[in-house]
Structure formats: C-alpha cells, structure tokens
C-alpha cells in the first residue's frame, strides 16, 4: 500500500508523550542513532532500534542512513486562507507607522476582509494550496488554519469550507486543523455595536459551524481597540460549552489581560504574548496553557520578541508557529522560525524542536495522534539531509528538510 513504509538506519530524534512538554522537559529528546520506523496504513507500528532479520514484505523501504528523522512539524498558528495582499502596509510600517494606526485608517484586517469577501471559493482554495505546498517542503505535516477574514456569515463559512475541502483530499500534503476566528476584528457593518457582534457569533455562527463540523477550535483577538477581556470571555465560554477547543490572541500590542483569561478558561493556547505579564506567565504554567510564540511576526513588525526563555524557565509549555498572514507576517518560513527562536529567543535546538512538534500538536489538541515518533501516532516525519539536527538553526533561513512524509507517503520536495 502507498502508506506502508519502512524507514531504516535513521537517526530518530523525537520528544515523547501524548501531551505538551513543560519547562525543562522541552529539552529532553529521545535519540535512537540507528533506528527503524514502521508505518502501516499510515500509522506508526514500530519505532526503535534497527531489527535483525528479513524486512517484512508489503512495505516501501527508505534507507535514511546518516540522516535525522524528526516528527513532522506542526505549525499551530496560521491564517492561510485569505484574499488579496497588503504590501503597501508593509512599506508604511517600514516608514514607522504602527500596526494599530494602520488599522484605524481602514487598513489591516478590514483591508483583507474586503478582498476575501470578493474572492471566489476556487480562488481562495488555489491560493491556500500553494502555501500548503510550500509548507510541506519545509517539513510541515499539520497546520492550524484560522478564518477571520470574512467577518460575515457567508465569507467565514467560505474560508472554513476551503479548509475542509483541502482536508478531504486523500493525497493532501498537509492536514489542516481549522479554527473559527470570527472575532478577529469588528466588521464595519457592526461599528460601535461590539456586543451585538459577539451575540451574532454566539447565537448564529458557533452553533452552525459546530453542527456542520467546520471548525475544531474558536479563537478571539483580545486586544485594546479590538475585543475586551469581558467580550472575549463571553465568546470563548460559549464556544467551550459547545465543545470547541479555545484559543486566544493575547497581549500582542499591549499587556491587556488576555493571557490571564486563557489561564482562567483553561484554553489550549495563548498566542503572540509579546507583552505578557509575569503573572500571565505564572498562570499559563499552572493551568497547562500552551504559550504559542510567533517570532516571525515580531521580526517583521520590528517588535521585541516574546520572552520565550523566561516562559520555559517558569515551567510553561511553549510552542512555535509562523503566523503566516497577509498583513503583519507574510511568511511561513519554518527555517527562519527555528533560527529566530534559537538566536534571539535563546531556545536550545532541542527546545525549538519540541516547540514545533509535540507542543505545537498540543496547542491544537492533537498531541495524542501527532507530534512525536511513537507507536499509534500518524506516520508524519521530516527527514533532514544531515546527520545533525543543529543544522536547523545553523543553516540560517535555509531549508534543511530533504523530504517530508505524510501518513507514510513520501512527498516530493
């Protein structure tokens, strides 16, 4: 079968477990210098030292001698379905305009909202598939995709249906965990009626999306000038009661209390965290909230990086993701994410690997099925063209992945 695979002679490197690794645990990786991984019907059925004797029949064999085999990377925060582009805003920011000032004059999310509403389903799908192909070449096997560029029923559903259509392809290169982010900004038609818009999301959007299985998670942009802590609490509490996993854009622009709210509600993750408080860090660690950090966004916005080193030292589980989006971070570069995390955020290479595999999986509630090389999990791998995983940040901004394997299928790179 196409997804029966034997990988032999590989240097297997992986975190282990079915949940996020916290604090010092993030530095602990299982190393098997000369190992075999057996994938049967897309699921790992053996992972350990090379076995003696004749190889079993019915499997494609991949000899990975002198190469590092990692779990497939999990990019746990992206906005990969959108219309249009915003290069002019990038130039404005280079000239010194702030992200919020651009939003206040009709740019930012509302700019992309207009383009996404105008784009057809086919246009959005074709564009998203191009990003997915690029992600796959960098070792990504699972990605979180958010809606949030429609801000009306028709377009939010269109975005989610694009992701569902991509997932239905049995030969998909990357699986999408879909997140409903209707509370990404206030649409113009609800100007000065924030509470009514939250009512609309709770009463109309959340039930319909849940009934039609269009999103696993619900997210909100909890930020000064966007949605308040109380509005975010109301939306996420309702989503949680309906069975959604909950996530939150927190403390990106100013310290606003979003991280503390994520801890209060036991969210899957709190994301961005450029201005998180010490109390927020402590509460994330206590309440097992994954801190999802997005160094590419800080890089492109010329903002200080999130305090990832302090979060790990405080016992947090930290994930890394790209935040691919058309505005604040038009990049999905896994290689640059590794480099920035290690060089500027003071992660060890081992911590960065854990953050982009098992902890990324935990941030989208999938750590039981992906994120590590263990029996019973999906056969998702990134095979490096190197015998050292230190190549990931050292080959700065360049792709070290020789091939990506999705559920036992070797993908063209």
Instruction: Please give the Cα distance from 140 to 213 (Å, whole number).
Output: 24
Residues 50/13, Cβ–Cβ less than 8 Å: no
How many domains does one find in the chain? 2
Secondary structure (3-state) at 169:
coil
Please state, for a pLDDT cut of 70, what percent of the chain lies above it. Answer: 100
Number of CB atoms found within 10 A of residue 375's CB: 12
Residues 149, 35 within the same domain: no
Q: Would you say residue 195 has pLDDT above 70?
A: yes
Instruction: Please give the Cα distance from 157 to 134 (Å, whole number).
Output: 25
User: pLDDT of 284-323, one tens digit each?
Assistant: 999 999 999 999 999 999 999 999 999 999 999 999 999 9
Residues 313, 407 within the same domain: no
CATH number assigned to the domain comprising residue 222: 3.20.20.140
Residues 288, 397 within the same domain: no
Residues 332/134, Cβ–Cβ less than 8 Å: yes
For residue 413, what are the CA distances in angstroms to 36, 66, 225, 301? 22, 19, 43, 30
Residues 136, 44 within the same domain: no
User: pLDDT of 78-133, one tens digit each?
Assistant: 999 999 999 988 888 888 888 778 877 778 888 999 999 999 999 999 999 999 99
Q: Give the global pTM.
A: 0.97
Residues 178, 103 within the same domain: yes
CATH number assigned to the domain comprising residue 29: 2.30.40.10
Instruction: Say how many residues make up the chain.
Output: 413
Residues 113, 200 within the same domain: yes
Residues 276, 198 within the same domain: yes
With CA atoms as reference, report the closest residue to 252 among 327, 168, 163: 327
Residues 267, 142 within the same domain: yes
Beta-sheet pairing, 269-272 with 175-183: unpaired
- Paired tokens of 35: 């190992």
Enclosing domain of residue 82: 73-363
- Would you state the pLDDT for residue 262? 98
Residues 316, 340 within the same domain: yes
With CA atoms as reference, report the closest residue to 58 among 131, 6, 16: 6
Instruction: Please give the Cα distance from 267 to 218 (Å, whole number).
Output: 10
Report the Cα–Cα distance between both ends of the chain, in Å, rounded. 21
């Amino acid at each position: 079968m196409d997804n029966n695979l034997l990988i032999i002679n590989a240097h297997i490197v992986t975190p282990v477990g079915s949940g996020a690794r916290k604090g010092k645990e993030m530095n602990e990786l299982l190393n098997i210098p000369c190992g075999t991984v057996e994938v049967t019907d897309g699921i790992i059925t053996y992972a350990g030292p090379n076995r003696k004797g004749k190889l079993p029949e019915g499997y494609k064999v991949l000899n990975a001698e002198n190469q590092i085999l990692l779990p497939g990377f999990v990019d746990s925060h992206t906005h990969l379905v959108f219309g249009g582009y915003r290069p002019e805003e990038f130039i404005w920011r280079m000239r010194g305009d702030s992200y919020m000032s651009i939003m206040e004059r009709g740019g930012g999310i509302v700019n992309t909202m207009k383009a996404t509403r105008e784009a057809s389903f086919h246009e959005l799908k074709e564009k998203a598939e191009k990003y997915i192909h690029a992600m796959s070449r960098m070792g990504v096997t699972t990605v979180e995709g958010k809606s949030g560029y429609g801000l009306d029923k028709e377009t939010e559903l269109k975005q989610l249906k694009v992701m569902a259509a991509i997932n239905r392809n049995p030969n998909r290169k990357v699986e999408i965990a879909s997140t409903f982010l209707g509370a990404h900004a206030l649409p113009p038609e609800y100007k000065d009626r924030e509470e009514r818009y939250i009512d609309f999301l709770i009463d109309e959007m959340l039930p319909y999306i849940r009934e039609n299985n269009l999103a696993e998670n619900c997210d909100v942009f909890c930020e000064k000038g966007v949605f308040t802590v109380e509005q975010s609490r109301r939306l996420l509490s309702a989503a949680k009661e309906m069975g959604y996993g909950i996530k939150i854009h927190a403390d990106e622009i100013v310290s606003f209390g979003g991280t503390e709210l994520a801890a209060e509600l036991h969210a899957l993750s709190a994301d961005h965290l450029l201005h998180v408080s010490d109390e927020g860090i402590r509460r994330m660690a206590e309440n097992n909230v994954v801190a999802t950090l997005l160094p590419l966004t800080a890089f492109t916005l010329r903002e200080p990086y999130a305090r990832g080193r302090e979060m790990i030292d405080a016992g947090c589980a930290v994930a890394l993701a790209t935040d691919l989006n058309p505005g604040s971070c038009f990049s999905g570069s896994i290689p640059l994410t590794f480099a920035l995390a290690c060089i500027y955020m003071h992660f060890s290479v081992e911590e960065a690997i854990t953050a982009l595999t098992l902890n990324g999986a935990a941030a989208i509630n999938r750590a039981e099925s992906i994120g590590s090389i263990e029996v019973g999990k999906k056969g998702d791998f990134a095979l490096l063209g190197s015998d050292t995983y230190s190549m990931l940040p050292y080959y700065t901004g360049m792709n070290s992945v020789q091939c990506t394997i999705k559920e036992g299928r070797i993908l063209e790179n």
